[in-house]
Amino acid sequence: MDTLVSLCKRRGFVFQSSEIYGGTGSCYDYGPLGVELKQNIKRLLWRDFVQSRADMVGIDASILMHPTVWKASGHLDHFTDPMVDCRECKLRFRADHVDALPWTHYCPATKGNKFTIPAGEPCSHCGARRTLCPDCGKGQLTAPRQFNLMFKTFMGPVEEDASVAYLRPETAQAMFVNFDNVLQSMRLKLPFGIAQAGRSFRNEITPGNFIFRTREFEQMEIEYFVNPRDAVEGRPADEYWHDRWIADCMAWFRRYGLREENLKLREHDRDELSHYSKRTVDIDYRFPIGWSELMGIANRTDFDLKQHSKFSGKSLTYFDEERKEHVVPYVIEPAMGVDRAVLAFMADAYVEEEVRGEKRVVLRFHPELAPVKVAVLPLLKKREEIVRAAHAIRADLAKQWRVVYDDTAAIGRLYRRQDEVGTPYCVTVDVQTVGDSEKGEAGDGKVTIRDRDSMAQVRVPIDALPGVFHDLLGGGAWAQVAARLERQIQK
């Protein structure tokens, strides 16, 4: 994790929020490369799960919703964590996390020497187990109290109970309260889904592990409505679609590069299920901190639509033409954390290898995820024609992709820099490309494309570049595209 955090800062992926003021607790800013990566993830999610499907539509709802939404959804009553406070140092912990922390101990058997003891273990000198604050090792902990994780604010100029509003703790509720608007305006038939990507806020007691658990984060959630009276392949529709979404989400992560051995499904135990859930399955990823939740896929039944109908007094049903009856749809909810996806894709792509006796750091991003698709590099920055040609190539390719120009180091160094941020292809312009007008030598108008992963190179005419990158960035394998180009050159 430390290696990734340092790479993220050094190469402009993620910065600590308000760093010059000492940072804001567990808030992060995405830098120039991080924002590209994150936007690519959201764009691919939207393309693959919304635009390309006939049964999906999207919305973009406001973050501040009517406060009754949170009463109806259960968040006001249930969205709490048990917390304990240290009476001495005033630090706050999640009651259910305290035993999983290493603890500070002033050991009486060693004249009060201070030790940090691994989580759950007793002191090897005096045999004592933790009873006091794990951090300062001195204070008693209070009894657990329930702490609501929603950020409270006030709408309008007066700070009074009547104007209380909450920053949404999940994007999901906007899909439920807009169910009828979307159904009527788009004339949809079950099953169909509504998706939304946007910010959510939770006043987590113990945020941490970089962008894994923060207080402000981005989610992409889908609420997929099914008719509970329908059967698909002999199974109740909600159960069938739940499994379909689990499989589709797993396939999506694999498609963009997460390795099979780093992904697994985790079924929630009965006592772990949220108050609305009939069944929840998490996709867990082997993060640098260990196996943890990347996303959850829940069967929320008809809980939310019924609750909002009850609290708003509005009917939130679907008219089943075949059976001539109104039904309250069941909901399957794939809920992804975009920041956790960023972390997982970075962790999975990170490789250190040895090349000719030197360490090479590579982010082997899938080309569609890579923040920069192509870097155009002049071999000699003192040669004006080379620099001019390289700028022209960048400008032309940048009409379609994120393409950068860099001449701030020697070519070997420039390649390494691009490897480290995951740029799949570099284009090098050299003397042969432009020729030497003083010596009367014409250039061949060709440039070298270098593949990040194999480091293999192929020389192609400048005017072929858009077509070649169309193939490569559109999913074509380097080996095949390069072999085709070699054949064309030999003809």
Report if residue 148 touches ligand GAP, rule: CB under 6 A: no
**φ/ψ of residue 135, rounded to 5:** -90, -55
| Residue in 11, 130, 340, 450 binding ligand GAP, rule: CB under 6 A | 340
Q: Which is it for strands 192-201 and 56-58: parallel, antiparallel or unpaired?
A: parallel
Peptide bond just before 191 cis, omega within 30 deg: yes
Q: Where are the alpha helices (DSSP H) in 421-477?
A: 431-434, 465-473
Taking the complex as a whole, the smallest distance from the CB of residue 218 to ligand GAP amounts, in Å, to 8
Nearest CB to ligand GAP, comparing residues 222 and 349 = 222
| Residue in 137, 193, 296, 424 binding ligand GAP, rule: CB under 6 A | 296
Q: Where are the alpha helices (DSSP H) in 11-66?
A: 32-46
Q: Give the CA distances from residue 437 to residues 293, 384, 434, 442, in Å, rounded to whole numbers and listed in that order.
A: 61, 12, 9, 7
Nearest CB to ligand GAP, comparing residues 176 and 425 = 176
Q: Where are the alpha helices (DSSP H) in 381-430?
A: 384-397, 411-420
Nearest CB to ligand GAP, comparing residues 337 and 443 = 337
Which range binds ligand GAP by CB under 6 A, 62-70, 210-218, 238-246, 303-311? Answer: 210-218
Taking the complex as a whole, the smallest distance from the CB of residue 484 to ligand GAP amounts, in Å, to 41
Closest CA to 288 of 366, 209, 363: 209
Peptide bond just before 329 cis, omega within 30 deg: no
Which range binds ligand GAP by CB under 6 A, 87-95, 214-222, 440-448, 478-486? Answer: 214-222
Report if residue 417 touches ligand GAP, rule: CB under 6 A: no
Which residue is at the shortest CB distance from ligand GAP?
337
Taking the complex as a whole, the smallest distance from the CB of residue 194 to ligand GAP amounts, in Å, to 13
Closest CA to 120 of 100, 90, 144: 100
Report if residue 168 touches ligand GAP, rule: CB under 6 A: no
Report if residue 74 touches ligand GAP, rule: CB under 6 A: no
Residues 6+ away with beta carbon under 8 Å from 327: 227, 228, 229, 317, 318, 320
Kindly determine how many residues on this chain lie close enough to bind ligand GAP according to the rule CB under 6 A. Answer: 19
The rounded distance, in Å, linking the Cα atoms of 215 and 202 is 5
Report if residue 59 touches ligand GAP, rule: CB under 6 A: no
| Residue in 48, 88, 135, 170 binding ligand GAP, rule: CB under 6 A | 170
Q: Find the binding residues for ligand GAP in span 236-295 (CB under 6 A).
A: 293-295
Place of tokens 């002033």: 106
Nearest CB to ligand GAP, comparing residues 28 and 415 = 28
Amino acid (1-letter code) at residue 454: S
Nearest CB to ligand GAP, comparing residues 104 and 277 = 277
Contact 257, 366 (CB under 8 A): yes
Place of tokens 């054949």: 487
Nearest CB to ligand GAP, comparing residues 272 and 436 = 272
Nearest CB to ligand GAP, comparing residues 204 and 420 = 204
Q: What is the DSSP letter of 17?
A: T
Nearest CB to ligand GAP, comparing residues 204 and 243 = 204
The rounded distance, in Å, linking the Cα atoms of 164 and 151 is 10
| Residue in 8, 172, 305, 374 binding ligand GAP, rule: CB under 6 A | 172
| Residue in 28, 217, 285, 318 binding ligand GAP, rule: CB under 6 A | 217
Nearest CB to ligand GAP, comparing residues 100 and 455 = 100
Nearest CB to ligand GAP, comparing residues 238 and 339 = 339
Contact 468, 449 (CB under 8 A): yes
Q: Which stretch of DSSP H or E encloses residue 8? A: helix 2-10
Nearest CB to ligand GAP, comparing residues 117 and 338 = 338
Q: Which two tokens stand for residue 136?
A: 């300062």
Q: Give the CA distances from residue 387 to residues 66, 154, 350, 372, 405, in Å, rounded to whole numbers and listed in that order.
A: 57, 56, 32, 20, 10
Taking the complex as a whole, the smallest distance from the CB of residue 423 to ligand GAP amounts, in Å, to 27
| Residue in 73, 214, 299, 433 binding ligand GAP, rule: CB under 6 A | 214
Report if residue 334 touches ligand GAP, rule: CB under 6 A: no
Taking the complex as a whole, the smallest distance from the CB of residue 199 to ligand GAP amounts, in Å, to 11
Q: How many CB atoms lie within 10 A of CB 413?
A: 11
Contacts of residues 114-120 at CB distance under 8 Å and 24 or more positions apart, as own/partner, are none
Report if residue 213 touches ligand GAP, rule: CB under 6 A: yes
Helix axes 338-349, 2-10, angle to 10 degrees: 100
Nearest CB to ligand GAP, comparing residues 170 and 471 = 170
Amino acid (1-letter code) at residue 113: N
Nearest CB to ligand GAP, comparing residues 212 and 478 = 212
Report if residue 335 touches ligand GAP, rule: CB under 6 A: yes
Q: Where are the alpha helices (DSSP H) in 63-137?
A: 67-73, 75-78
Q: Find the binding residues for ligand GAP in span 77-106 (CB under 6 A).
A: none
Taking the complex as a whole, the smallest distance from the CB of residue 319 to ligand GAP amounts, in Å, to 27
- Where on the chain is the footprint of ligand GAP (CB under 6 A)? 170, 172, 202, 204, 213-214, 217, 219, 221, 293-296, 333, 335-337, 339-340
